[in-house]
Structure 1
């Protein structure tokens, strides 16, 4: 009798409900389905209630930003996943010169050939350091890969038609930021600032699991970057509807204030580099120079990158690296704008 009861209990644990699943637990998918069902049932009421000019304008801006940016975002995460799975870090290590200053230059150019989003570049840089690459070169690649790759440049050209100087200015400002930070680290950086866990050697991806690593990396990057894209599009739409045009007019008249505001906005919004150009372009009243600062600062330093760097390389590193990167990015963006955009317009 006791044995039968025990068997029944065991059977119930394995078939009637898996331990840890939690019976009756509501998942995010169920919540989404319920919200969609309610929206369908109440679509007439929603249409009559929300049919106001401001909301229509905001919805148009939101959809336009998402639709324009999504193809570049998908392409970017696919390339990022392919690099993580099929390009071993030792390949990058072999092509880098042994001299640290020369390695910084090569790492900066490697960002053009090996694109990736900001989130993906942090673990790649950590892997490079773990395999013996000079930290200065790894950090240069960390900043260059998400900022100067072809996907980002094409997205910028599409977002700013008729402004070829914007593409050149973004490329020059971002590459200068990455290489300047690399050389600054080579001159004054200390390994003691990097957490010991980031200096440990990491295992390579096994040949038999490369496709799995590709799909997992691409999926994770798409989910994370897609969320930030939606957030950025919402904020862009809200700024266009809620903020009076006079405010953006002030940014155009006071160019220094505009540069500082857009630099801080880039840090706070934390957009993906494949999508940020479309958000910047939607702010039509803002001059090109503050927009350029927004595009150069964002991929170099923002709140999510600070958190990733603190978790990967340690808080001591992030507290030193992020503020200097912010200042260098602003300066490089302004100089690039003065050269390629003809000043503060």
Structure 2
């Protein structure tokens, strides 16, 4: 039997979404470095404008670090109700072109446009039409990646940002992936990237040269994904209205932590990163789960559920602190901490913990 025709997948990613909304609604902020978040001593950047990014300001960065890098940075408090409303407006545009929409967060989604509903002739033309309507109806810009699978479409959407379009046809997929730094691969965080660098794996081509057995020895359950990704392979379908199960973040430390104050400070940073994702997904849940991995790789989890959804970062962190306190002391040290919100109510966006 002949191989089925390749799918046509678009990954749409709004450009600096939160910050762009603030600049759109406040003309005085246009052209200035803007961070959405809190400027308090223990605040965190939820999003940064492109003007701020030129100074190295990034989301999930502590506010004090961001201000040190960019003294003229303007902090704006987040307006998640506004971001959610605009996200719904954008999603209604998507729905005019396909029913197969898999939101990843308020500002990005996968679309399967294998069926050309409006007979526009190509996935490229569909992506161009969607981007034009977003600009016209919201005053915001979006970048899009078009390819034959989700993995490459997501990489492509970041290729020509902001306000860009990148199309990777099936014949070019493997070469496109081979030329990219592995640190750009979805799911490869800074810690994993450093481990790869130590093994001489810097690009997709380097990764492809590694036998699966070698990847399994160093990256365990992540190995099969890395092996396929290096070859431009991804068979996951676009799943419409996939329910959220959990949203969170975890951090692997360069050196093991054992002092209680160090662990509590580290948990605060993990909670900030997790809460940024929780707000980005518009998620609310009833269960907070702490994940702790000891120096000997023994992993324990503790969870607390409450009757009402956790609605504030302070409560999220408070529950995490209580769970951590029940596991102290840890004389041999801790190599990883994670904090996750689950039991999600009233949302449909898919989310998984970020590997920091």
Instruction: Give the alignment's TM-score, normalised by structure 1.
Output: 0.24
**Structure of larger gyration radius:** 1
The structure where helix makes up a greater share of residues is: 1
The structure where strand makes up a greater share of residues is: 2
Instruction: Give the alignment's TM-score, normalised by structure 2.
Output: 0.24
